[in-house]
Chain A
Amino acid sequence: MASPLTGYLLVAALIFAIGLAGALTRRNAILVLIGIELMLNAANLNLVAFWRYGPHPEALTGMIFAIFSIAVAAAEAAVGLGLVISIYRHAKTTDLEQMNRMKG
């Protein structure tokens, strides 16, 4: 535990693992989206942490990168929620187990 970076990274890894587990195991599409958001934010946390403890903390690169990433994630969440709503209207369900037509 020499550098505080390790702590941030561990937290980020934990959040990512929780997000991944949620995305992979939940049957509800909304909860899978939430898992994906968690993983994205774990990545953002890493970006900011590497910036803060990196060689050039005076330039605001990491923070800008994180803000961009959040903006993209927001757009992505909007698209994802749109898809989910559209699927729900079509199939009257949000259960991913029953959405099995995504194959050749």
Chain B
Amino acid sequence: MQEGLAFTPQLSASNIAEWLWLVPAVPVVASGVIALLRQPKRKLASGIAIGSLCFSLLLAFVAFGHVLSGWSQGFAVREVVNFSWIQVGSAQVELGWVLDPLAAVMLVMVAFVGLLIFIYSIGYMAEDENYTRFFCFLSLFAGAMLGVVIANSILLLFMGWELVGLTSYLLIGFWYQKPSAAAAAKKAFLTTRVGDVFFLLGMVWLFAQTGTLLFYDHGVGSLEPLALGGLLVHHAAWGLTAAGAIGLLIFAGAVGKSGQLPLHVWLPDAMEGPTPVSALIHAATMVAAGVYLIARVYPLMSAGAIIRPFVTASGSTPALIVVTWVGASTAVFAALIAVAQNDIKRILAYSTVSQLGYMMAGLGVGGVAVGMFHLITHAFFKALLFMGAGSAIHGAHEEQDVRKMGGLKAAMPATFATYAVGMLALCGFPLLFSGFWSKDGILEAAQHWSVARGPFYLLVFGALLTAFYMTRQVSYVFLGEYRGHGHPHESPRVMTMPLAILAFFAIALGAVGTPAWPWFRGFLENRAVPFETAGFSEPGLAALMLTSSLVVLSGLGLGWWMYGNKSTKAEEPDALEKAMPPVWAVLRNKFYVDELYGATVIAFYWWSAKVADWLDRKVWGGIVAGVALVFSGWAQLNRFLDTNVVDGGFDKGCEEIATSGGLLARVQNGRGQIYLRLLAVGVVILAAILIWSGRQ
């Protein structure tokens, strides 16, 4: 996010920026419309979803073109549209959106990959009964994700972030009849919530410190120098500045969403959802939202460090150091686990976790462009891999265990060819594939990182493991003999076409980020980049490229040596298991992280629940029962008083009245003379009173 010297900032909003809100709004509205459709309206539902995303993609391209033309004319485009949402006391809660190179690139990627996955879903979900519901959720997801991308207010970003989490929950649990899917959905939701709580805290703290929720607001936004300066002089605990502490809190949110250590546990389980969901949400876009968030608040994360934007970070901040170490450890940790998994989608899921670690480390050591470049290339080739895996699963009659697949190369040539491209891109096969360039960028930055060398070695080791486990997977799935049931068959064109398009980009995208022409980087960092082959002759670069190529090739070779073209039986133990049983056991069981959480966090909650239950039953329940008893006793007393005292008194009164009434009734005995006598007595009494009162 460094503004180059030659570039003048351009802040006034153009028409395109004014209408940018349509990009997320249209898919959200589409999802609302689809929600109202009846189940049999399948074609209409997918039509609306794809149409709306096409529109978003078109707008995203227009916005991208706008930023691009500004960039080519030497402007640092950052157009913001802000408005006040609600007023709380004297504080304004402001929302808004921003159009800058970062958002533009991400918009195009999300909309484009999303669209391909939507199209692929037509084929993949063709048999599903709840087709309309699926497209409703997908549309909502796309809208929410695009909302996260354009947000200029941390609150708006958070709203999109939570919506994305909700749709992730809904889509993982799409086949909710499966208990494992329902459990995975719950796990994903709860685990990401842990990170989100920290994110929320960070947001509130940022608001308290800067008084604004906006990132950029003509000099007074929270990511602009004025606010950052204020955050830097304010010290939080443990020697951190407020900027560092808030950065770490926000990073905790990203850790949850992007499946970094120690909150990575939900992502592999999330593969219970339909494969397009795994591709779209849990590989290409949503999990990348964490990385994008860090890229978006990068000025905050790096505040206080002197960054030479175009080389590497020469100084770093505590927040960035944490980001780097977490990312690098995750990269290796998840890659190790991926080695020993047998579910085709789980291998890819751990690979995703590992690659997200690369992106985080890239952000930590090299800045926004390094991390974001890997994010974009990864989105394409990982979506490709997931959709290829979906195609293979489809072809092998819903079989997900790699040991029971095998030999699909002959039956599914299109899937195999595209999958191989994705696999080589993920491994970072030298020169030809985008993954090589983006991973190389991260490794180069890590090599020059001034703080520590550890992350560099971790990442190199991770690259070796990546090549190894991908070779293992491809050997199992596509080579050897078919070990499953039935006959494998190629998927329909509606599924293979998106694969081909993604495969093309998995190769071609590398062209915009080579050291000779680091166009992508220049675009994000607002500076012009000439094409010069001299880029390759930077000191150490050739050696690094050679090293990483050798690492990748040795990983591929090792994998080939252990798994290649050996038609192992499905029941036979894994080659690695035969070689190193104890290591295999640890990796197979994912380092026992789930078991650790089960024994600590879950057990703690279970016991707290037990204690709370006991308290509820015995203590609070006892108090309530006691109070109830007091009242019931009181009521009994009242009842006794009522029947015996009040009623008795009342009955007595009634009796008296009846008696006196009876007495009076005896006077009225029907004899006129008695009446007359009484009348006379009355007259006499009246006369006496009159005479008596006259006397006085």
* Chain A residues packing against B (C-beta within 8 Å): 20, 23-24, 32, 96-97, 99-104
9 more contacts with CB within 8 A, not counting A24-B680, A100-B669, A103-B669, are A24-B676, A96-B672, A99-B670, A99-B671, A100-B671, A101-B670, A102-B672, A103-B670, A104-B665
> In whole Å, how far is B658's beta carbon from the nearest beta carbon of chain A?
16
Closest to A35 in B: B676
Closest to A20 in B: B680
Q: Tell me whether A104 and B668 are in contact in the complex, defined as CB-CB below 8 angstroms, given that A20-B680, A24-B680 are known contacts.
A: yes
Does B177 make an interface contact (CB < 8 A)? no
Contacts of A96 in B (CB 8 A): 671-673
CA–CA, A97 to B672, complex, Å?
9
CA–CA, A24 to B673, complex, Å?
6
Contact between chains at B673 and A32 (CB < 8 Å): yes
25 contacts between A and B (CB under 8 A): A20-B680, A23-B673, A23-B676, A24-B673, A24-B676, A24-B677, A24-B680, A32-B673, A96-B671, A96-B672, A96-B673, A97-B671, A99-B670, A99-B671, A100-B669, A100-B671, A101-B670, A102-B670, A102-B672, A102-B675, A103-B668, A103-B669, A103-B670, A104-B665, A104-B668
Most buried by A among B669, B673, B676: B673
CA–CA, A32 to B676, complex, Å?
11
> In whole Å, how far is A50's beta carbon from the nearest beta carbon of chain B?
18
Contacts of A101 in B (CB 8 A): 670
- The 5 A-B pairs at the shortest CB distance, nearest first, are namely A103-B670, A100-B670, A102-B670, A100-B671, A103-B668
Closest to B677 in A: A24
Contact with A along B638-677 (1 / 0, CB 8 A): 0000000000000000000000000001001111110111
CA–CA, A103 to B668, complex, Å?
6
CA–CA, A103 to B666, complex, Å?
10
CA–CA, A96 to B677, complex, Å?
13
> In whole Å, how far is A29's beta carbon from the nearest beta carbon of chain B?
9
Closest to A21 in B: B680
> In whole Å, how far is B460's beta carbon from the nearest beta carbon of chain A?
119
B665, B671, B677, B680: which contacts A102 (Cβ < 8 A)?
B671
> In whole Å, how far is B506's beta carbon from the nearest beta carbon of chain A?
112
CA–CA, A99 to B671, complex, Å?
6
> In whole Å, how far is B603's beta carbon from the nearest beta carbon of chain A?
88
CA–CA, A72 to B19, complex, Å?
110
CA–CA, A23 to B356, complex, Å?
125
CA–CA, A20 to B684, complex, Å?
12
CA–CA, A97 to B680, complex, Å?
18
Contacts of B676 in A (CB 8 A): 23-24
CA–CA, A102 to B667, complex, Å?
12
CA–CA, A102 to B680, complex, Å?
18
Closest to A101 in B: B670
> In whole Å, how far is A79's beta carbon from the nearest beta carbon of chain B?
15
Contacts of A100 in B (CB 8 A): 669-671
> In whole Å, how far is A53's beta carbon from the nearest beta carbon of chain B?
21
Contacts of B675 in A (CB 8 A): 102
Closest to B671 in A: A100
A20, A99, A104: which contacts B672 (Cβ < 8 A)?
A99
CA–CA, A65 to B381, complex, Å?
132
Contacts of A20 in B (CB 8 A): 680
CA–CA, A72 to B671, complex, Å?
25
CA–CA, A52 to B558, complex, Å?
157
CA–CA, A101 to B668, complex, Å?
10
Most buried by A among B665, B669, B671, B680: B671
Contacts of A99 in B (CB 8 A): 670-672
Most buried by B among A97, A100, A103: A103
> In whole Å, how far is B168's beta carbon from the nearest beta carbon of chain A?
89
CA–CA, A101 to B670, complex, Å?
5
Closest to A25 in B: B673
Contacts of B668 in A (CB 8 A): 103-104
Of residues 166 to 215 in B, which have CB atoms within 8 Å of A's CB atoms?
A: none
Contacts of A104 in B (CB 8 A): 665, 668
Contacts of B671 in A (CB 8 A): 96-97, 99-100, 102
Contacts of A102 in B (CB 8 A): 670-672, 675
CA–CA, A104 to B673, complex, Å?
16
Contacts of A24 in B (CB 8 A): 673, 676-677, 680
Contacts of B672 in A (CB 8 A): 96, 99, 102
> In whole Å, how far is B468's beta carbon from the nearest beta carbon of chain A?
116
> In whole Å, how far is A35's beta carbon from the nearest beta carbon of chain B?
10
Closest to B665 in A: A104
Contacts of A103 in B (CB 8 A): 668-670
CA–CA, A101 to B671, complex, Å?
7
Closest to B675 in A: A102
CA–CA, A102 to B322, complex, Å?
113
CA–CA, A50 to B676, complex, Å?
27
Closest to B681 in A: A24
Contacts of B680 in A (CB 8 A): 20, 24
CA–CA, A102 to B676, complex, Å?
13
CA–CA, A15 to B680, complex, Å?
15
> In whole Å, how far is A17's beta carbon from the nearest beta carbon of chain B?
10
> In whole Å, how far is B683's beta carbon from the nearest beta carbon of chain A?
9
Contacts of B665 in A (CB 8 A): 104
> In whole Å, how far is A90's beta carbon from the nearest beta carbon of chain B?
15
> In whole Å, how far is B682's beta carbon from the nearest beta carbon of chain A?
13
Contacts of A97 in B (CB 8 A): 671
> In whole Å, how far is B671's beta carbon from the nearest beta carbon of chain A?
5
> In whole Å, how far is B169's beta carbon from the nearest beta carbon of chain A?
84
CA–CA, A85 to B569, complex, Å?
136
Closest to A104 in B: B668
CA–CA, A28 to B587, complex, Å?
131
CA–CA, A96 to B672, complex, Å?
8
> In whole Å, how far is B680's beta carbon from the nearest beta carbon of chain A?
6
Contacts of B670 in A (CB 8 A): 99-103
Closest to A23 in B: B676
> In whole Å, how far is B684's beta carbon from the nearest beta carbon of chain A?
10
CA–CA, A32 to B673, complex, Å?
9
Contacts of B677 in A (CB 8 A): 24
Contacts of B669 in A (CB 8 A): 100, 103
CA–CA, A29 to B629, complex, Å?
76
CA–CA, A96 to B673, complex, Å?
8
CA–CA, A104 to B669, complex, Å?
9
Of residues 675 to 691 in B, which have CB atoms within 8 Å of A's CB atoms?
A: 675-677, 680
CA–CA, A23 to B670, complex, Å?
16
CA–CA, A103 to B671, complex, Å?
8
Contact with A along B217-256 (1 / 0, CB 8 A): 0000000000000000000000000000000000000000
Closest to B667 in A: A103
CA–CA, A40 to B668, complex, Å?
26
> In whole Å, how far is B164's beta carbon from the nearest beta carbon of chain A?
89
CA–CA, A32 to B672, complex, Å?
11
> In whole Å, how far is A31's beta carbon from the nearest beta carbon of chain B?
11
> In whole Å, how far is B674's beta carbon from the nearest beta carbon of chain A?
9
> In whole Å, how far is B341's beta carbon from the nearest beta carbon of chain A?
104
